[in-house]
Amino acid sequence: MEDWFNAIPDLGLGIMAVLLLIGAAEGGVIIASWHKRPPEGADRFLSTLAAPSMGLLALMIGFTFLMALTRYEARVAEVVEAANTIGKAALRAGMLPEPYRSVVTPLLKEYATLRVAHRGAQIASSAMMATNRRALDIQEKLWDEATAAAVSNPQVVPTGLFIDALNDVIDTYEKRLAAGRNKVPTPIFLMLEAIAMVAIGFSAYGAHWGSAYTRWPMWVMAALIGVVITLIIDVDRPQTGFMTVSQQPLLDLIERMK
């Protein structure tokens, strides 16, 4: 379920969300028009249902937006942490003896560059998977160089400091993968859209019986709710969409690295 949902672009999801909500409004009117005369108390009953449905929709929107925003902020913090840990490792690599320093420094710069590569690609895309494999290869090479430096001279303090910083770099890599994969579950978004359709349908049904239904205002309301749902989905997507996580801390680090 997750794969097909995440494979659809934000614009496509937004259009589908709006069309479904407009269809729900029109469906409510069609169902209401099937009755030649309102059943006794039906208009009052449906008007009563429309209010709690909208309240439940507002609660669900707030709950889902909070989940997406929490994950977005975690990804922003992870970028800053990655830039700090890679930068610290690069500084300590400068204290390593030759020939280790000449090997480690370019690898760290390439590693930082990989962190910002393919920013518009899906997490599970072939391009991102190839980038992650290359990042793991660099981690192994860096660890081999650190191990060799420690074996050649175990009394040198800078080597131990570099190994400690390299551990942090590896840890932040795992945090990055976890943050990228930690999304709001797809069933929550589907439930949110379903609740919105029910709320809009009840509102249109009640408005029709009250002879107060006007198509364009109801369509505008449906479009606004659809846009809000699309915005929440966009916030939840770390790589694609309109609100991507800024990689500027890593870009600044790459610019400073020699």
Q: Report pLDDT digits (tens) over 121-153.
A: 566 667 778 888 888 899 999 998 888 888 887
Give the pLDDT of residue 236: 86
State the distance between the two ends of the chain, measured CA to CA, in whole angstroms. 45
Dihedral sign computed on CA atoms, order 168, 174, 177, 183: negative
Helix (H) or strand (E) holding 34: none
Residues 184-213 have a mean pLDDT of: 83
Check pLDDT > 80 for residue 183: yes
* 63 pLDDT tier (thresholds 50, 70, 90): very high
257: left (phi over 0), alpha (psi -120 to 50) or beta: beta
* 159 pLDDT tier (thresholds 50, 70, 90): confident
Tokens representing 106 are 């370019």
Contact (CB, 8 A) for 92 and 165: yes
Nearest to 82 by CA among 204, 203, 252, 223: 252
Query: What is the maximum alpha-carbon separation in the chain?
Result: 93
Check pLDDT > 60 for residue 39: no
Tokens representing 37 are 């005369």
Check pLDDT > 70 for residue 53: yes
Dihedral sign computed on CA atoms, order 122, 123, 124, 126: positive
**What angle, rounded to 10 degrees, do the helices at 42-93 and 215-236 form?**
30
**84: Cβ contacts below 8 Å, ≥ 6 apart:** 249
Check pLDDT > 70 for residue 155: no
pLDDT tens digits along 215-253: 778 888 899 999 999 999 988 887 666 777 888 888 888
Give the pLDDT of residue 194: 93
Of all residues in the chain, the percent with pLDDT exceeding 90 is 18
Distances (CA, A) of 147 to 89, 135, 138, 142, 161: 15, 18, 14, 9, 12
Contact (CB, 8 A) for 52 and 205: no
